[in-house]
Structure 1
Amino acid sequence: MGKPVSGLAFQGLRAPLSGMVQGTSGARVVPVAPAAGARAAAGTVRFEAVSKTYRSAAGEVRALDRVDLEVPAGAIFGIIGRSGAGKSSLLRTINRLEEPTSGRVLIDGEPIAALDENGLVSLRRRIGMVFQHFNLLSAKTVRGNVALPLTVAGVPRSEIGPRVDEVLRLVGLEAKAETYPSRLSGGQKQRVGIARALVSRPEILLCDEATSALDPETSLSILNLLRDINRRLGITIVLITHEMSVIRDICSDVVVLEGGRVTEMGPVWRVFGSPEHPATQALLEPLTRGLPDDLAAALHAQPAPGAATVLQITYSGQGAPDLSALAAAAGAPVRLLQAGIERIQGHAVGRMLIAVAAEAGPDLEVRLRALGGSIERIGYVPSDD
């Protein structure tokens, strides 16, 4: 597997976006506020009261219910929700594989519902799509699979070769150009799928469970590739997944769907750090470490003489824990029982369990709360546990 090329080597993959600054070290995306009345930046997606109802002999099912949200240009935007929440339906309205029953979808500020056949073909060339199960043609080589969208579009053969070579270098598969899919690993097949989605020089890339069929190590490599594509090319990426770790690792913003409705939305660090809706809390539960069995067995609701107080300190992005300040504010010996703190988009998110010796005093929580984080007293343990 080859190494992805530098930013300068594939700047020509698509036209520069609004707000992209060119420099000697390659392209970088710089947020630029649009002027009043200006056209939305390339890669912007807007949903306005979008609803989708499926009708069958068994009755009606409302998959989407008045969804309002905007995906900013250049973002990596995640859509999460339980099975049947409407994730796929929402994603597929962006390229009109699904037609909303009501409401509007706008791409770069323009409604797409009224597009004629030619306009729809043009729209879909601006929107690439990566699938969970690759959807490669077994009878075609890697080069043939990647070239297919250009061949169907009638792009001159003299242009197809260089563009295919560009994207194969981008995804690190130039050495596999003449290989057939049956000889590729799952990760390599997904890289072919990504290259095929990029060869038409889209401004938006849709990812439908793009890592769900891959092992963890391969999934990580694909996420790194998507992040690199977004950083180098400024392409807006919209992805749906049931893997919360994928959202945490790659997305800038996330929306949570439940029953076709938006229940929570915002920067990933905030939604993960302080989930408000029960659906979000349930989705994030696998990422939350439970109380260790030995500690749970020793925990008591009422204090015994000399018992240590067990506190749970939750950090939701306000600030990272300062262990020395924590010990000083407690005014008594502090033991760290368990901790799971990570940084998401530069914000500390997670929780710590600490045991504070009995001599800390009755206003312990007040003193610790001043250091940041939310404090919850969850019980007491013997001082030597």
Structure 2
Amino acid sequence: MTGAAVIPLPQAGAQAASAAQAHRIAGSVQFQGLGKTYTSSAGEVQALQDIDLEIQPGEIFGIIGRSGAGKSSLLRSINRLEQPTEGRVLVDGEDIAGLGEAGLIRLRRRIGMIFQHFNLLSAKTVRENVALPLRIAGVQQAEAAARVAEVLRLVGLEGKEDTYPSRLSGGQKQRVGIARALVMRPEILLCDEATSALDPETTLSILRLLRDINRRLGLTVVLITHEMSVIREICHRVVVLERGRVAEMGPVWQVFTRPQHAATQALLAPLTRALPEDLSARLHDRAEPGDLQVIELPFAGEAAPDLAVLAPGLRLVQAQVDPIQGHAVGRLVVLAPQGFDPATLSAKARRLGHVAAND
């Protein structure tokens, strides 16, 4: 199948890395002026408006927004489960709007998809669920058996081949869904709220699996979520949607460090530890004579600023630091002697190799 990523499990070392890299030329997605309008008896609803963005081959790209922001409509336009009202979707440079039935089948074999509620057939075993796309595609039995065994090893389900879904945990069910999506050796993997039905520990294990699959196979992963913690854990870049439009987009560490749009700030709020009310009030008020000032210092750099180097007399009140894409991203709340200028602290942090988020 032309352009499909071959799972390089039988290979090792540099050979495997080379095989994965060779297939990273496939898997690009581009939206050009994309719009989607739904029509019902209640009238028209514009779900997407003027979407212009490009997803690079081999990256993990996150789409986030509040309910009704247009996330699902955008994701499902990639495999044409949703037909745009205007604009174009290009997969590997090809406008998919013009595909006939045969072309659409070929496209969907190159694009795997996993779902929030797993979508497994309860009357079929793990092996049978994973093999279903191969049976539909007419793959020979021997090759199908080999591919199923291969992807079940990849997702950590060896020994579960003859188990029925009712005997599996939520995380195991999602691993079956991932294996089924990979068995056709796609170049793009779409994740439709794939961790929303899972507990936090299982969510983390599934995200780590998706990250490992991305690294080992070199395929493009596009996921939608309403949780910034998911974006922080796995994505390279993120787009924030608000009412069907792009609110902002960029590398995850930059969006987390310097959120520009109110929608992004609202989505990040649950991840930010609130200050006690007394300190929060002092953060914005002028310090009384003899009092210490409360100063907030957002930052992003290779490490958090060293207070002893940054300025004498600073006392740490609160710190929140997250490692994102090789950057230490977070904020410090400090007590400083009266007369300290927050802008001066930010400038010094920048000179020391930290980029202050409010600069």
Q: Distance in 1 between matches of 2:284 and 2:95?
A: 60
Which of 356, 366, 371 is the matching residue for 2:349?
A: 371
Which of 173, 184, 190 is the matching residue for 2:168?
A: 184
Alignment match, 1:249? 233
Superposition pairs for residues 196-207 of structure 1, below 5 Å? 196-207=180-191
Q: Distance in 1 between matches of 2:13 and 2:134?
A: 30
Alignment match, 2:53? 69
1:26 positional shift? 3.1
1:203 positional shift? 0.2
List runs of 5+ in structure 2 lacking aligned partners: none
Alignment match, 1:35? none
Q: Distance in 2 between matches of 1:187 and 1:200?
A: 21
1:321 positional shift? 1.1
Is the Cα–Cα contact under 8 Å of residues 29 and 231 in structure 1 kept in the other structure? no
Q: How many residues align?
A: 349
CA RMSD for the aligned pairs? 2.5
> Aligned letter for 1:42?
A
> Aligned letter for 2:275?
L
Question: Structure 2 vs 1, CA of residues 339 and 29 (structure 1 numbering), >3 Å: closer, same or farther?
Answer: farther
Q: CA offsets, 1:221-252, max 9 Å, x none?
A: 00000000000000100000011100000000
Instruction: Pick the structure with greater CA Rg.
Output: 1
Q: CA offsets, 1:66-115, max 9 Å, x none?
A: 10100000000000011100000000000000000011101101111111
Which of 16, 38, 54 is the matching residue for 1:26?
A: 16
Q: Distance in 2 between matches of 1:282 and 1:354?
A: 24
Structure 1 residue matching 2:174: 3-state secondary structure: helix
Q: Distance in 2 between matches of 1:206 and 1:300?
A: 44
1:193 positional shift? 0.2
Q: Does 1:138 align with 2:138?
A: no
Q: CA offsets, 1:249-290, max 9 Å, x none?
A: 000000011111111011000111101011111111111111
Q: Does 1:337 align with 2:317?
A: yes
Q: Does 1:234 align with 2:218?
A: yes
Alignment match, 2:242? 258
Superposition pairs for residues 46-125 of structure 1, below 5 Å? 46-125=30-109
Q: Distance in 1 between matches of 2:332 and 2:19?
A: 36
Which of 291, 297, 310 is the matching residue for 2:275?
A: 291
Alignment match, 1:15? 6
Q: Distance in 1 between matches of 2:341 and 2:71?
A: 46
TM-score after normalising by structure 2: 0.91
Which of 352, 356, 369 is the matching residue for 2:332?
A: 352
1:315 positional shift? 0.9
Alignment match, 1:43? 27
Alignment match, 1:155? 139
Q: Distance in 1 between matches of 2:153 and 2:357?
A: 50
Identity value in percent: 65
> Aligned letter for 2:17?
A
Is the Cα–Cα contact under 8 Å of residues 270 and 317 in structure 1 kept in the other structure? no
> Aligned letter for 2:112?
G
Q: CA offsets, 1:50-74, max 9 Å, x none?
A: 1000001110000010101000000
Q: Distance in 2 between matches of 1:336 and 1:85?
A: 39
> Aligned letter for 2:29?
V
Is the Cα–Cα contact under 8 Å of residues 369 and 375 in structure 1 kept in the other structure? no
1:316 positional shift? 3.8
Which of 202, 208, 211 is the matching residue for 2:192?
A: 208
TM-score after normalising by structure 1: 0.85
1:304 positional shift? 2.7
Deviates more, 1:44-53 or 1:311-320: 311-320
> Aligned letter for 1:27?
A
Is the Cα–Cα contact under 8 Å of residues 312 and 375 in structure 1 kept in the other structure? no
Q: Distance in 2 between matches of 1:290 and 1:89?
A: 34
Alignment match, 1:379? none
List runs of 5+ in structure 1 lacking aligned partners: 1-12, 33-39, 377-385
Alignment match, 2:203? 219
1:158 positional shift? 1.6
Q: Distance in 2 between matches of 1:362 and 1:238?
A: 45
Alignment match, 2:295? 311
